[in-house]
Amino acid sequence: MGVTNLLCRAFAIWAGMPTSYKSTSTGMLAVCPKTLLTPELKDVKVNNPVPESGPKVLWCVAADGTKPLSACPGRAHLRHGASKAVAGARDSSGSSALNSFGILYVMLQGDLPPARRDPSLEFKTAWVGALAMGMIFFCSPIVSIFTDRIGCRATAASGATVAFIGLLSSSFTKSLEVRYFTYGILFGCGSSFAFQPSLVILGHYFKRRLGLANGIVAGGSCLFSISLPFFLKTVGKAIGLAHTFQVLSAFMFIQILLSLTFRPLLPPSSDSHQDGRDKLGSRSMKQQCGNQMQNYFSMRVFRKKTYRIWAFGIATAVLGYFVPYVHLIKYVEEAFKENQKDWILLVCLGAMSGLGRLVSGRIGDCIPGLKKIYLQVASFMLLGLMCMMIPQCQKFEDVIVVCLFLGLCDGFFITIMAPIAFELVGPMQASQAIGYLLGLMAIPMTAGPPVAGYLHDYFGTYHPSFYFAGIPPIIGGLVLSVVPLVHQRMLKKQQPDSGKDKMLVSETVMNGELLPGCPTTEAHI
């Protein structure tokens, strides 16, 4: 037990969590490191003191003995802090199946009867994977609402269940049109509900090292991405596409169980619940519904000019993002007659993406404020250049080198997205900010692979497709580069002390408030 406590304390210091506890008549006091207290928290006044009655809750205090500042996770949550990051990577098989769609793309075409094949086969087959990827992003604003309403745990488990049904039902048909629904819609929608809560939950438990924690979580899923391409290639040849879908559905079933490991933060006091019920009881049903709709469909994040520019830039850049994942395997088969080792390309993408996520998470923690966005700028610019380099490759080994850089860019882009959202809109609106951003990405992510497939069907070669895929990331990177400049200009126009690079002070978490994704309905579980 002593070793466990020592390890927990070391992890707490590293992660910026409470380091010691004191028993009081009202609950447990968690003593946090002074480094955890930002300038905003040091000066904050406690509007809601520690309750004299109600459930025994845990309150954070500074190490110098100042007043409690906010509710925070208890000792059990501390010991499960590391498992949050591990459990957050439980979306691995869903995202990995989409990242390895290039192998499924070839298998889907081979599974069609000869009579069903036509000159636009590349275009039609690309829609299966494009719809799945597009649904992940299209459903994200809705997922944000469910995450805020019913919590990360219920949202993620429900999404994994829908994805399981989609994969399993895809094994019972050979029609592309039916798989548009089973794989593209059901699996894509379910993966969205399973994926986004893993981004939000990290903001509850990691403060100082949010970027590194996000990188560890995202990098964990890449371990599955590294092994899945070889697995799909081997198993697909042995048992066929239908049974391959059934095996993937078994992985999704495991994710349902892993999603249940999420734990919410502690609830506000019972007094605050009673006050809330009294206020709701004095309003009409129409007013209550209107207030709920206003809360969950709030567009306040779009009032920030920097967020609008950032979201538009990323939506532009991802038009060509998914094209290599879908068409690269088919391209090397056509250009180099290589169909035995083509899975190595997706392994390189997954491995370097994992490395990029770990490295970018650590680097992001060292870069203050919105300067983190320059990591995204560099990754998009390099990604666009590498897409244009694919047609210039003369050997299969050259394509491998290009894939290494593509994976690195992917890792930098994904990992730094959540920390930038927290910087732009603050922690209380981060869930909706991420949701709206992913929703804006849906249309270009869905359109990219089919457009590339259409260009192949029209020109008879993949060269125009990859040139097309490289242009949007470069344009998007240029747009993102102006966000820090606009942010600095806005700070200068506000007030004399606005030179500090910090989140919104008005969104500071006070006693009795919960972060997004931690509803009252989950609090007593």
Does the pLDDT of residue 2 top 50, yes or no? Answer: no
pLDDT at 60: 43
User: What angle (nearest 5°) sits at the alpha carbon of residue 88, between those of residues 15 and 171?
Assistant: 170
Residue 523 three-state SS: helix
Q: Among candidates 6, 61, 68, 7, which has minimal Cα distance to 33?
A: 61
Q: How far apart are CA 193 and CA 434, in angstroms?
A: 13
Contact status, residue 259 vs residue 157, Cβ threshold 8 Å: yes
pLDDT top residue among 94 and 242: 242
Q: Is the dihedral of CA 186, 191, 196, 197 positive or negative?
A: positive
Of 145-154, 208-217, 500-509, the least confident: 500-509
Q: How far apart are CA 287 and CA 285, in angstroms?
A: 5
Confidence of residue 202 (pLDDT cuts 50, 70, 90): low
Residue 500 Ramachandran class (φ > 0 left, ψ -120 to 50 alpha, else beta): beta
Q: How far apart are CA 276 and CA 292, in angstroms?
A: 13
Q: Among candidates 253, 239, 231, which has minimal Cα distance to 103?
A: 231
pLDDT at 496: 59
Residue % of the chain over a pLDDT of 70: 63
pLDDT at 225: 74
Residue bearing tokens 């390890």: 7
Of 107-116, 269-278, 488-497, the least confident: 269-278
The alpha carbon of 497 is separated from its chain's Cα centroid by a whole number of angstroms, namely 34
pLDDT at 456: 92
Residue bearing tokens 């890792």: 411
In sequence order, what are the beta bridge partners of 62? Answer: 32
The kind and range of the H/E element at 240 are helix 210-259
pTM of the model: 0.69
- What is the DSSP annotation of 340-375? SSTHHHHHHHHHHHHHHHHHHHHHHHHS-GGGGHHH
Does the pLDDT of residue 452 top 70, yes or no? Answer: yes
pLDDT averaged over every residue in the chain: 73
pLDDT at 357: 79
What pLDDT, in 10s, does the model give residues 225-260? 788 888 888 888 889 899 999 999 998 998 888 888
Burial annotation 19-34 (CB, 10 A radius, 16+ → b, else e)? beeeeeebbbbbbbbe
Q: Among candidates 157, 219, 228, 169, which has minimal Cα distance to 194?
A: 157
Residues 493-513 have a mean pLDDT of 49
pLDDT at 429: 77
Does the pLDDT of residue 334 top 60, yes or no? Answer: yes
Does the pLDDT of residue 495 top 80, yes or no? Answer: no
The alpha carbon of 46 is separated from its chain's Cα centroid by a whole number of angstroms, namely 33
- Give the single-character DSSP code of 304: S
- What is the DSSP annotation of 23-72? EETTEEEEEEPGGGS-HHHHT---SSPPPSSSS-EEEEEETT-----EE-
pLDDT at 119: 73
What pLDDT, in 10s, does the model give residues 275-305? 555 554 555 666 666 666 666 566 777 888 8
Instruction: Judge residue 378's burial from the number of C-beta atoms within 10 Å of its C-beta, 0-12 exposed, 13-18 middle, 19 or more buried.
Output: middle
Residues 355-362 have a mean pLDDT of 81
In sequence order, what are the beta bridge partners of 57? Answer: 27
Does the pLDDT of residue 521 top 90, yes or no? Answer: no
Strand pairing of 27-32 and 57-62? parallel
- Give the single-character DSSP code of 302: G
Q: What is the identity of the amino acid at 292?
A: Q
Contact status, residue 349 vs residue 325, Cβ threshold 8 Å: yes
pLDDT at 291: 65
pLDDT top residue among 150 and 269: 150
pLDDT top residue among 321 and 525: 321
Confidence of residue 524 (pLDDT cuts 50, 70, 90): very low
Q: What is the identity of the amino acid at 513?
A: E
| Assigned superfamily of 80-266+302-490 | MFS general substrate transporter like domains (1.20.1250.20)
- Give the single-character DSSP code of 391: G
User: What angle (nearest 5°) sits at the alpha carbon of residue 279, between those of residues 277 and 280?
Assistant: 65
pLDDT top residue among 450 and 93: 450
Contacts of 1 (CB under 8 A, 6+ apart): none
Residues 170-181 have a mean pLDDT of 91
pLDDT at 37: 38
Domain segments of the chain: what residues?
A: 2-78, 80-266+302-490
User: What angle (nearest 5°) sits at the alpha carbon of residue 209, between those of residues 381 and 315?
Assistant: 30
Contacts of 173 (CB under 8 A, 6+ apart): 179, 182
Does the pLDDT of residue 261 top 70, yes or no? Answer: yes
pLDDT top residue among 474 and 47: 474
